[in-house]
Structure 1
Amino acid sequence: MTKKNTITVKQSNKLGFKLTDVKTGLQALRNHANTLMLAKRAGADNGLLRLETANFLETVFDMVEIYSDELDRVACYLLECDNPDELRAYEEEEKGE
């Protein structure tokens, strides 16, 4: 027996925007990492480079946690797309944040 998908176009678009936000953030982190590597290769001051790298790593740590949570929520929503009760619970949780 095939279950019916209960995700609306609006909900699907919302998930797509969330995934796009994660991708955009990951690209920003990648660009920042590239900048640090270019600065290192160009002979930037080691002390300043270490400070900037440490700051960047703290940002990466925080952002990976945020993106991981967001991807978990999107995955849960997609995995439960055939369960209206779970989708309602998901939507209520989203409203509470």
Structure 2
Amino acid sequence: MIDREKADIGVFLTLHEPTGPMKAEAAGAGQFQLDGFDPVPRIQIVTVEEAMALRERAVRIPLARADTFRKPAREEDKSRQFGLDL
């Protein structure tokens, strides 16, 4: 599937829980690694129930980083605040 389409990652959406051979074949496809991101399975099997419950978290993609929207440290030095000259 991913070889034929020349894709880095493939998702198999199924109505029922995956069988043992399905899980083994997906695991045998290995991991996809992109610099700066955690590795993700090349073939991911997701049930419709998981997709509905987890929404965008059902499929792991390398562009989903948890630290992207971290808030900056709060500046405590009030002497650096400037007033407006109106």
Q: When the two structures are superposed, what TM-score results if normalisation uses the length of structure 2?
A: 0.22
Q: Which has the higher strand share?
A: 2
Q: Which has the higher helix share?
A: 1
Instruction: Point out which structure has higher relative CO (alpha carbons under 8 A, 6+ apart).
Output: 1
Q: Which has the larger radius of gyration?
A: 2
